[in-house]
Chain A
Amino acid sequence: MGIGLAILILGMLLTNGAFLALAVPPILFSCFSAIQSMQLRLPVLNIERTVNRHRMIEGEEVKVTVDVSSTFGTTGRYFISVIDTLPGGAQLVDGENQFLGPFVQGQSAQFSYRVVLPRGKHVFKEFVVTGWSRWGLASRMESVAHESIVIAHPKTDPVGAITIRPRRTRAFAGPVKANQGGQGLDFFGCRSYVPGDDIRRVNWRAYARQDTLIVNEYELERLADVNVIVDARLQAHCRLGAETTFDHSLRAAGSLASHFLRVGNIVGLLVYGDLVHWVFPGVGKRQERKILDALATSYAADKEVFEDLRKVPTRLFPAQSQLVFISPLTDEDDVEVIALLIDQGYSILLVCPHATTWEAEQIGPTPSAQLATRMANLRRSLFLDSLVRTGTRIVNWDVSEPLALAIERDLGVSFFRRHV
């Protein structure tokens, strides 16, 4: 309309009929469009989205089916488009996420598609419905809100048996050696018989040698508190193409939390970075889902308050319990904080993800790259060696290899067989 009016005014100023004729097409087009826009009414649509699952593992496909129907409304025939807007990061792999075609009252239509979703909480928010007038000069677009949520958990891999030895355990039977004599499977020691002891536990050979009743003791197996702490400080992680070491850390956290829950421990989660995201400790499948949900929505952040590990809220963790720390360790301060936690009585299993191999491959086999790789490895070795001396158990994990392999290598398979 603006174009037409401008040409019309120009024609009137110049008193030239040709300009007036030139103004006719845009003005007519605008007028007809305006009239048709006023008359255009979209049909009342019922749109339903069905998602075949609401929880999945990152990188897996989810099938979405959309049903479009119109039970009442205007009786006209429309050409409509219904677009199901995809959440950010979703990749359409199969099918169509748009219906496009003529639509009349009472008609129904269905379309379905498959998307691959990355880790995170994905919200399918709305449908965008567009209808066109019969002569195509006017269109109307509306958004129809319909929310479906799909949570893509980080990919977890089964890890081998991991032995943990926290100083304090719970009173209930569980999988962790409590370092106390009592009922169990593994031999712990001998002591003098006291009335009430089970006669089957009497060590008859010791009795024969010493002429006093001696009973065998077995190591108690108890439930333990395990808290997984994920370092989500942006400065601690590096980018590996489309991913970061933080993504690998979350996968490791998911794998370890699932493992400890499966063997029967009480497991909690703390993501330390932006805010303190804490999942209260618990047991069972439900707790596993809670932890994986929290990991799915976690992100690395750069907050001045949490720039070092000193602010880790140890009050959340039971005294002398087991902590599983997943951190790439940025500097000596981080090493010191972990040593302090050991001093406070916590047992610590440190998983230290790094991407030195990946970075070296990206740079290429130049002498300077080889030197840089060597320096990075030496620096990390220094940190880790100083922690080993404090009693920290360490998994030095190159993210290009499976976590299970790193655990088996660094924690020792013979150790597992002896204690698990």
Chain B
Amino acid sequence: MKWILAILLATAALLLMLPALLIGSVLYVLAVPIFTAAAFFVMHKWPHSKSSNVSLIVLALLSVAALFIGIHPLFPVISLMLAIYAWNAAHRFGHLDHARVEEEAKRQFVIHVLTFSFLPSLAIGLFLIAFLYVRVSLPFGLALGLSIAALLSVALFMGVVRIARNRED
């Protein structure tokens, strides 16, 4: 569970940091990993607390700040989307911390979250963004990249669903 949260938030942070680095906004590049690490810590430790919600607000503010410093809007949008999924995943995985549960049930739960929650939502989200940016004159390379990422996500989703069903049978 921890690694899913870490991957989502690290990707969200990279999506903000790399363009900012190209622009040369050093302060922003330094701020992003610090706030993201803090958000990761809070979401992982206290997923059902108000602090977790505040962490999401902080990540949203980082995305807004990215627009102000001149980063291409695509990056903060995807970054915010990933942050929302991370927050949602942390919220769901937090239910495993209240009591002791079987390892197998825990594993099934993680697969369930991945197959029925995170991956389909991500695929739909990416499709939507691709569509949005194609409609608002997105550069061809970027739109192509987004579409490929979305298709890969769907393929991955289908694969994980099949694996999960096989295990349940």
**Which residues of A does B touch, CB under 8 Å?**
3, 7, 10, 16-19, 21-22, 24-26, 28-29, 79, 81, 83-84, 86, 92, 95-102, 113, 128, 130, 132, 134-137, 139
Contacts and interface: CB of A to CB of B under 8 A. Distances in A.
Interface in B91-112: 91-92, 95-96, 98-102, 105-106, 108-109, 112
20 contacts: A3-B56, A7-B60, A10-B64, A17-B136, A22-B77, A26-B60, A83-B99, A86-B99, A96-B100, A98-B100, A98-B101, A100-B96, A100-B105, A101-B105, A101-B108, A128-B98, A135-B117, A136-B113, A137-B121, A139-B91
Contact of A25 (B84, B91, B95, B120): B84
Contacts of A84: 99
Contacts of A96: 99-102, 105
Nearest to B95: A81
Contacts of B106: 100
Nearest to A11: B67
B121 A135 contact: yes
B161 interface: no
Which of the four size classes fits the interface of chain B? 35 or more
B100 A95 contact: yes
Contacts of A18: 67, 73
Interface in B33-69: 56-57, 60, 63-64, 67
B132 A24 contact: yes
Nearest to B81: A25
A3 B60 contact: yes
Q: Taking chain A's interface residues, is the majority helix, strand, or loop, or is none over half, making it mixed?
A: mixed
B80 interface: yes
B128 A24 contact: yes
A97 B99 CA distance: 6
Contacts of B125: 25, 28
A21 B63 CA distance: 11
B88 A136 contact: yes
A18 B168 CA distance: 44
Residue from B56, B64, B109 having most chain A Cβ neighbours under 10 A:
B64
A-B pairs with the 8 shortest C-beta distances?
A136-B117, A18-B73, A98-B99, A25-B81, A98-B101, A100-B105, A83-B99, A3-B60
Contact of B73 (A22, A79, A86, A98): A22
B16 to A, nearest CB: 12
A53 B109 CA distance: 33
Nearest to B132: A21
A136 B67 contact: no
Interface string B125-167: 1001100100010000000000000000000000000000000
Nearest to B63: A22
B118 interface: yes
B73 A21 contact: yes
A72 B8 CA distance: 39
A320 B67 CA distance: 90
A96 B64 CA distance: 44
A100 B1 CA distance: 15
